[in-house]
Each structure stands twice: as structure tokens, then as C-alpha cells.
Amino acid sequence: MQNIRNIAIIAHVDHGKTTLVDKIIHASKIFRENQQFEDLILDNNDLERERGITILSKNVSVRYKDIKINIIDTPGHADFGGEVERVLKMADGVLLLVDAFEGPMPQTRFVLSKALALGLTPIVVVNKVDKPNCRPDEVHEAVFDLMFNLDATEEQLDFVTMYGSAKNNWMGPDWKEETDSILPLLDTIIEHIPAPQIQEGSTQMQITSLDFSNFVGRIAIGRLKRGTLKENTQIALCKADGSIKKMRIKELHVFEGLGKNKVEEVHAGDICAVTGIEGFEIGDTIADAENPEPLPRIAIDEPTMNMLFTINNSPFFGKEGKFVTSRHLRDRLFKEMEKNLALRVEPTDNEDKFLVYGRGILHLSVLIETMRREGYELQVGQPQVIYKDIDGIKNEPIESLVVDVPETTSGKVIELATQRKGELLVMEPRGDLQHLEFRIPSRGLIGLRNNVLTATQGEAIMNHRYVDYEPFKGPIPGRINGSLISMESGPTTGYAIDKLQDRGTFFVDPGEEIYGGQVIGEHSRDNDIVVNVQKGKKLTNMRASGSDDNTKIPPAKKFSLEEAMEYIQKDEYLEITPKSMRMRKIYLDEGERTRMAKKDA
């Protein structure tokens, strides 16, 4: 077992984690010389490539100097913390990657605290030292301070630091002296990351992630803690409720390069995939059939936000999606819960509606985007934070918000955050940027990113992470403007939109098919109004002098999925189909809306 190293790579978003893994893969010659491949090898689903973020953790292994290094690529966003918490159980050490200019960021702190608590050995990699304005030595100090604040042990504080540029394919102990390859980093991993500690006793393996194959069904992945596993032998599956089921292993695979190799037996310390086991969940233990001993289950942080998911019942339902019924929606959400540990789904008293709990807007929006690409049609309600009653006092989730912004617009950011009950803790210059840190309620963050980017001409860099529950901070002002609502169904006309421009901003273009009750724009005042955008110009054979000029309409305002989720109000739904995204009132009929508003009041 001395020739195995298990290492997880953790970093903040955009600090170069997946690029570093690419270079390690190339350095270990997994590909043939003439083989074609793309960059960001591990970000292999479309959503990850489009957004440039890692969403799912993945395993690869490389061989270097006859030692097998199992590498686990982890997400950087706190919203996908459920992924990180379970996969760190497979590692003996972590590569902490930090940007040579930005230094440790809020979400680095989140993942690092989990790794240190598990007693993993850290190696710090200061990346992007080729950037202008970089400050590697200050960043090294900041990482030490962060580890000290996170109660690292003396051994962990005595960490090794490597400097380099993953993009330019070099790493070394001194940032001023460029080396010719990334191999010094692999030497450091072999030297400083301990080989797996093997305990005596019967077989134990915790299932920390799962895979799916159309041929063999669900595959359990985890690290064998002790003992050996052999194919075609009997094991015991220890489940969450304490029950133990006897099962037989069909096949065993270990990770080799970017794929898996079938083996007859796996020894303690290696990461493997097991097929043939039915009905398992993440956190279950595969144990010895005669003497089963379950491992303690993985503790996952609680979700902080929920949203109502319901079937699409708009006038346009079923036109674009394949899966539109409540049974389809229910099955898909419960299937997602099997592998997405931080997600919870609760049925409501209406069989068409489900409450879905997640870590944040991004966590929920990735699920929605994945579903729409699979052909689902659904509607979601306004995101709500989850309140807790602690000692009879209403508590709400609080987050740490970090904004780096040009000095000229920092005042606007402070104003926007404090309006939403944010409390300014730190304000310091960093290069040509102002570094601001706030404590702010989670509900204050809903819709804040859009406002901050508008106020700073898109130059602000915002990051936040969940901290704790604290007593309720009081009401926060929501969206100031009302909605423009369509009166009738049918295609919009440029003539009508042109005549209504002084009413507000439109989200639809001329000629777009819409329905009565759809939100088609933002009113310039704080109340909702119903408008007719189907009205055409009355045509006569008389020409009116001066009034037949061409209409000039500004382009419609378009929203991304997250922006639309943050924009909608309590009485609105977001309708999502594979091709379209529309905002609408829950009650499409104006008379019914008025009745329900009176009832709620």
C-alpha cells in the first residue's frame, strides 16, 4: 500500500483547479502522443463547460515513479458543499490551490475547514504567479493565517508551499525561478502526502459517491478502509436505518487514468467501484458478511433555501417538453436525491407540488437547468430561506459576503448591502480594488448580485458562503418595481410595444407568442398593471403625415436562469421548458388575482 497516494484538490472557483489536473494528466502520459483531446478534461458535462465551474466531483488516477496517485477534483462553490464533504473521506491529503493575486477566498475557507477537521495533510499551491500585480509571499502568509484561524494542528501548519503557473505548465518551490515542468509538484505529493493508513480488522468501505451505467445499473464508489474485496463474494450492506442486507459483488474496478480497470480483488487504501449491489445509498457501509461493522455516516450541512417545484400548467404546457406530468417530476426529483446529498425533497398536500430544499440559488438552478435539458417542463416559485426556531426566537441563515470592487463604486456596493441588513466588517485596499467583507442574511443576497453588477458596470467580484443561523434581522425591501402583465394571448406587435414604452422595460420581442397573465416586463412604478401588447395599428388607405415613421424599440431585457429565479415575486412562477423560460402570475386571470390578493390581505 506504500505505492498509493489519495489526494483531493480544493480551491475557490476560477483559481485553476481543473487546468492543474489537465497538466498533471498530460505530464503522466495517459494519452498517446498522437491522441487528440480538449482542455478541461474533467469538466465533462455541458453545464460545467459552459459555466466554467466544477459541479460534480470526479476521480482520476495517474502513475508516476511506480506510484499510483488517485486525484479527486472537487467543486469550488459552497453551493455544492455536499459533494465536497463526502469525497474528502476518500483522501489522505489535499492540494490547496490559491490564486497568487486574490489569495484565499471565502469558499476556499469553507472546503479547507472540512479538510483540516478530517486531519488531512495539506500542500499549498500558489497558482498564477505569472499574473501582473501578483503577491505570492503575502498570499502564503494569508494561507498560514487562515489555517491558524481554522484550528489546524502543528503538523498541518508546517505545510509545504509550491509556486507556479498551471496554465504555463510549471511548478517549483520558488516563484521567482521558473522550472520546466509540473513534475516537481508530483515529487512533492509523493514525498509529503502519507500513504493510506491501513487498520486491522474486517472489511469496511463507505460508499461516498455513485455512478450509473445503462448495462449494470448503479455503481458504488468509495475507498476501502480495511480488509480486501474480491469479485463474486458475499458482503453485508449496512444501511442508515441500522438494517443489514447480504449481497454479492459482481465486479470490481479501480480507477486507472481517465477510466476504470476491472480487477479480481482490491486491497485497503485504494479507491474502487463496485457493481452488483442493489438499493444502496451514499453513506452506507460495505462490510464483512460474517462480522459487519458499519462506519459512522457522513454529516452534511443543512440546506438553507427552498423552492416550490410544480408541474407546468400554463396555456403553453406540453408544447416543448417530453416529461410534463407530476409522476415524471416526482420520479426525477427523488432520483436526484440519491446522488445529490445536500438536496431534500418533501411532498406537499397537493400531489402536483414539491418543496425542494438546497444550499443556495446556484445549487437549485443547476438541478433545474439539468432537468430542462433532459426534456422536463416545470414551474418554480420564489426561492425562500429556511427559518429555524431556536429557544423560541426566530432565526435565519447568515452568510459572509466578500466583494472586490473598484474604489470609485465601492460606496454604491456598501449602500446596497446595508439596505439589505448587511453589516460591513472589513474595508481595505487590494491593488487597484477595494476589498469589502459583510455579514448579511441569506435572503438579502437574493437579487443582490444583479443590482451590484449594475451599480458597478459589471466590475464587482462577489462571493459568499453560509456561516450560521442568527436571530431574524427584520424586514428587507424586495423588488421596488411592479410587473407589466399581458392582457390577452397571441403574438406581440411592435406597434403596441412602442406605444407602451413609457410604462416600463419589456422582456419580450415583437412577434413573440405570449399568453394572458404572463409577466412581459417591469413597470416603471411599484404596482402591477395589465397591458395589451397584441393591438395592431388600424390600417386605412389614408396616410397620416409624420406618424408613419418606423417604430424604434430597444431590445428586450433577457434573464439568465438564476437572475429570473431571483427576480420573481411571491405571487409569480417561473415557467421552464427545454426551449423557453417565461415569468407568469400564479393566477392568470385578473379577477382571480384581485380576489386572492384581498384574501391574503
Any known ligand binding at 127? yes
Q: Could you give the CA distance from residue 110 to residue 93 in angstroms, rounded to a whole number?
A: 16
Residue with grid cell 436562469, as numbered in its chain: 561
Any known ligand binding at 79? no
Q: Could you give the CA distance from residue 492 to residue 470 in angstroms, rounded to a whole number?
A: 48
Q: Comparing C-alpha atoms, which of 424, 396, 416, 368 is closest to residue 573?
A: 368
Q: Could you give the CA distance from residue 68 to residue 52 in angstroms, rounded to a whole number?
A: 28
C-alpha grid cell, residue 432:
487597484
Any known ligand binding at 14? yes
Any known ligand binding at 192? no
Any known ligand binding at 571? no
Q: Could you give the CA distance from residue 8 to residue 11 in angstroms, rounded to a whole number?
A: 10
Q: Could you give the CA distance from residue 64 to residue 24 in angstroms, rounded to a whole number?
A: 10
Q: Comparing C-alpha atoms, which of 84, 334, 95 is closest to residue 193?
A: 95
C-alpha grid cell, residue 403:
466583494
Q: Could you give the CA distance from residue 152 to residue 466 in angstroms, rounded to a whole number?
A: 21
Residue with grid cell 423560541, as numbered in its chain: 392
Any known ligand binding at 130? yes
Q: What angle do CA 465, 13, 408 make, to 5 degrees?
A: 75
Cα–Cα distances (Å) from 338 to 174, 208, 218, 326, 401, in that order, read 45, 11, 11, 19, 31
Any known ligand binding at 18? yes
C-alpha grid cell, residue 491:
403574438
Strand partners, 275: 251
Any known ligand binding at 241? no
Residues 6 or more apart in contact with residue 495 via CB below 8 angstroms: 535, 536, 537, 551
Any known ligand binding at 16? yes
Cα–Cα distances (Å) from 269 to 61, 89, 589, in that order, read 14, 12, 63
Q: Could you give the CA distance from residue 486 to residue 584 in angstroms, rounded to a whole number?
A: 9
> Annotated binding site for GTP, which residues?
14-19, 127-130
> Annotated binding site, which residues?
14-19, 127-130
